[in-house]
A and B are shown apart, each in its own frame.
Chain A
Amino acid sequence: MPSRTRGSSTRSAETRSGWLFTAPVIVVLGLFLVLPILVALWVSVSDWTGRGSPLSSSVSFVGAENYRQLLTEDTLTRSDFATSLRNNFYYVLMVVPIQTVLALALALLLNQRRLKGRSFFRTAYYFPSVTSSVAIASVFLFLFAGGGSINALLAFFGIDGPQWFADPRGVLHMALGAVGIGNGPDAPGPEALTSRDFMGLTWWDWLAGPSVAMLTIIFLVIWVSAGGYMLLFLAGLQNISADVYEAAAIDGSSRWRTMRAITVPLLRPTLFTVLTLGLIGTWQVFDQVYVMSKGQPGKTTLTPAFLSYDQSINNGEWGTGTAMSFVLFAIIIGFTAVQTFALRDRDRTPRERRGALGRALRLGNQRNPRAGGMP
């Protein structure tokens, strides 16, 4: 048993070792993450044209000029940016709820003690998360081609599948057309909505919904990420001790009631983590767009991350491109703030809430001392 008199030298030596071990990560993160972000912030308030270093003396400060031009001037760039925000918004709206619910369902299924082959299923569901996103995107390109497997499967049921990647029709336009609002995706929309516009897009265009091409990317991402979040939910579920379920069973609660009133509330920290990671990841989608569609067809798979890249590298508009990425950053912060507020613990005082939030953020852990951190 270590005696108390050895305390200070042991502690300082441990602190030194701690810093030494984390130093490589700090250096790497600082050099390859923090520094580029700071330089990008500088580029977004400067007039750098891509020649030479952005930190050289020939580059001057222009203040919020790039942001003003991007958000207020009626140009093609602004309507492209609005289109990308609209596409990404519908993408987030579809991906985050579905992948969270799917992950939770899979975790509940895999948490049963009597399930045979549990580790096989866990590996199988988690496998897509560790596969290269480019490889998966390429496979999906073949699956969803006009004459590909998905359409063959649909033809088996007598359904004539669409030309997935070439179909720019908005799903919401099609649905609204089916109930009589607007005349479907090929006709101009109702007069009231097409006469007014916001940021260069008419209100009818804002209501287009994800396109059929975007749906393929949505399916891909849900399939890939559900497995990863399933693991987070599994760890959270395993933290809930069996006594709680026994008590619920003794009180005569049905399975559905147990899940709704006990399991899900106790999973709140995990749910918070999954939703936050989901929101951040979906608002930054780039890989799939770059490999599969590059924003086509008809700019319906364009996302802010890809547009920012395209503006900077292909059009040489570095100020506009970096300004777009920081507007996106602000949007992500906004969404996560709203989500934090919505998921706050209403039974506690603000002071207790802050402390609990800190603890939850640190390890996503319950008051159970036996449990380890999240995988």
Chain B
Amino acid sequence: MSRMTRRTTAGVAACLTGVLALAACGGGSSFDEGTGTGSTQSAAAGPVTIKFLITSNGPADVKLQQDTVKPWEDKTGNKVEVIAASDRNQQLTQGFAAGSPPDLFFTEASSFPTYAKAGNLLAYGDQLPMKSDFYQGLVSTFTYDGKFYCAPKDFSTLALIINTDLWQQAGLGTGDVPENWSALEDVAKKLTSGKVKGLVIGDTRDRVGAFMKQAGGWIVSPDQTKMTADTPANLAGVKEVQKLLASGSASYPKGVDAGWGGEALGQGKAAMTIEGNWIKGAIKNDYPNLKWQAVELPAGPAAKGTLSFTECYGIAAASKHQAAAIDLVKYLSTEGPAMALAKGLGVMPSIRSAAAAYKGAFPNDAAFIAGAEYAQGPVTVAGMDPVLKDFDTQLQSLPAGDPAAMLARLQKNGEAVLK
């Protein structure tokens, strides 16, 4: 190689190294620590931009969110950057570790205690004027260590979803809607014929747990400080599900080759299923010809019982625009925006004052909102998630399994977390 080409080559190599090193080092988030305390900052002067991380089922959800916050943007002069998450937990975790999380984000009830325990969330719930307007169950779901952390954004409850065509074909009428367990068993048997199962129920605690609640039990005590899994009430609930599965008139979704209860219902493999508000959107999109109706779940030996599912508006403790974010949450928790989101996303508003408007807009969903009064919220104890997932794994083998052993195992594992 001549001297000239060698120098040129060396020069090019040096430039490439420099460019690559800059690309590798730059563009990442900073390595500062997050701000320490949980107290709110004073309102910032001038307009700010809030980063709002949401989960969505598609661009329509993102647009709905943007349209809902627009009036607030116009009123305050702030801007809201709505970001749809591809993997919400991962993006939040990365943000917390780097000290630059989104200001406002949807928080799952199951990961809420983990974030609260690590100090990543701001506890702003007590500052909200509509605190007394939220359903009490939702407020206790998002209370950790005595502090009401974040505003519930909406909720769903479980109801019994019936395929009305198959219902009428089996000769049943409106008076036959089951109100207790034995009526449910009868109806499921009548609706089972050929390949169609009378009832398809999901194989996790998020469905079987409704029966436990109806029998008067639940996984934890009301203040979530003690495990109450190993009780006769819970055993009765799980045994009832086992009885239904063993009788041949009920099945898990995988038993009829469906991914979830809604799919089984829509494909005509099930006459009834137990699902929540989200089934409305799924049926409208995937099974528009299905005629269905939602009724309240039958009561168990103790009382009526259902499960509620909810998420909250989490504000990061490390956020630099906390005052603006709280103001946005206050706006979103009023009747107008709450109803707009409910209509678009098929969930129910979390404020009691919007219940009348919801019933007016969706008269067919009376069963869902009626459940709000006696619904059991999810378990929100830090570190309980693997224990609950393990219980789900046990429930998957319910037809042949031993309910008492499953509950004993849940009790043992849960006590290890709560101690």
Alpha-carbon separation in the docked complex, A51 to B93 (Å): 8
- Mark interface residues in A314-328 (1 if CB within 8 Å of B CB, else 0): 111100000000000
- In whole Å, how far is B23's beta carbon from the nearest beta carbon of chain A? 9
A27 contacts partner chain B, Cβ-Cβ < 8 Å: yes
Asked if A76 contacts B413 (CB within 8 A), the reply is: yes
Asked if B257 contacts A147 (CB within 8 A), the reply is: yes
Asked if B99 contacts A298 (CB within 8 A), the reply is: no
A163 contacts partner chain B, Cβ-Cβ < 8 Å: yes
- Mark interface residues in A16-48 (1 if CB within 8 Å of B CB, else 0): 110011011001100110000000000000000
Asked if B20 contacts A297 (CB within 8 A), the reply is: no
- Mark interface residues in A72-90 (1 if CB within 8 Å of B CB, else 0): 0001110010000000000
A52 contacts partner chain B, Cβ-Cβ < 8 Å: yes
Asked if B24 contacts A31 (CB within 8 A), the reply is: yes
* Nearest chain B residue, comparing its CB with the CB of A31: B24
Interface SS of A by simple majority: loop
A299 contacts partner chain B, Cβ-Cβ < 8 Å: yes
A58 contacts partner chain B, Cβ-Cβ < 8 Å: yes
Q: List 14 A-B contacts (CB under 8 A).
A: A17-B13, A24-B21, A49-B118, A50-B97, A52-B32, A52-B97, A53-B98, A77-B386, A166-B254, A297-B396, A314-B111, A314-B385, A315-B385, A316-B93
Instruction: Give 11 A-B pairs besides A51-B119, A58-B33 with Cβ atoms closer than 8 angstroms.
Output: A20-B14, A31-B24, A31-B25, A32-B24, A53-B99, A76-B387, A80-B390, A163-B257, A314-B89, A316-B93, A316-B117
Asked if B6 contacts A13 (CB within 8 A), the reply is: yes
Alpha-carbon separation in the docked complex, A21 to B10 (Å): 9
Asked if A299 contacts B393 (CB within 8 A), the reply is: yes
- In whole Å, how far is A315's beta carbon from the nearest beta carbon of chain B? 6
Asked if A27 contacts B33 (CB within 8 A), the reply is: no
* Nearest chain A residue, comparing its CB with the CB of B9: A17
Asked if B97 contacts A76 (CB within 8 A), the reply is: no
Asked if A51 contacts B118 (CB within 8 A), the reply is: yes
B57 contacts partner chain A, Cβ-Cβ < 8 Å: no
B169 contacts partner chain A, Cβ-Cβ < 8 Å: no
A177 contacts partner chain B, Cβ-Cβ < 8 Å: no
Asked if B397 contacts A298 (CB within 8 A), the reply is: yes
Asked if B416 contacts A53 (CB within 8 A), the reply is: no
A168 contacts partner chain B, Cβ-Cβ < 8 Å: yes
- Mark interface residues in B99-122 (1 if CB within 8 Å of A CB, else 0): 100000000000100110111100
Alpha-carbon separation in the docked complex, A146 to B117 (Å): 42
* Nearest chain A residue, comparing its CB with the CB of B111: A314
Asked if A24 contacts B17 (CB within 8 A), the reply is: yes
**Given A76-B387, A186-B400, A50:B96 Cβ within 8 A:** yes
Asked if A27 contacts B20 (CB within 8 A), the reply is: yes
Asked if B89 contacts A17 (CB within 8 A), the reply is: no
* 5 nearest A-B pairs in the assembled complex, by CB-CB distance: A52-B33, A166-B254, A146-B257, A20-B13, A24-B20
**Given A28-B24, A313-B89, A23:B33 Cβ within 8 A:** no
- Mark interface residues in A159-176 (1 if CB within 8 Å of B CB, else 0): 000010010100000000
B268 contacts partner chain A, Cβ-Cβ < 8 Å: no
Residue among A16, A49, A77, A296 with most chain B CB within 10 A: A49
Asked if A51 contacts B97 (CB within 8 A), the reply is: yes
A131 contacts partner chain B, Cβ-Cβ < 8 Å: no
Contact of A50 among B14, B25, B118 (CB under 8 A): B118
Asked if B254 contacts A163 (CB within 8 A), the reply is: yes
Alpha-carbon separation in the docked complex, A298 to B391 (Å): 10
Alpha-carbon separation in the docked complex, A77 to B384 (Å): 11
- In whole Å, how far is A13's beta carbon from the nearest beta carbon of chain B? 6
Alpha-carbon separation in the docked complex, A149 to B396 (Å): 25
A56 contacts partner chain B, Cβ-Cβ < 8 Å: yes
- In whole Å, how far is A174's beta carbon from the nearest beta carbon of chain B? 15
**Given A20-B13, A147-B257, A76:B93 Cβ within 8 A:** no
* Residues of A with C-beta under 8 A to B396: 168, 297-298
B246 contacts partner chain A, Cβ-Cβ < 8 Å: no
* Residues of B with C-beta under 8 A to A311: 386
- In whole Å, how far is B400's beta carbon from the nearest beta carbon of chain A? 5
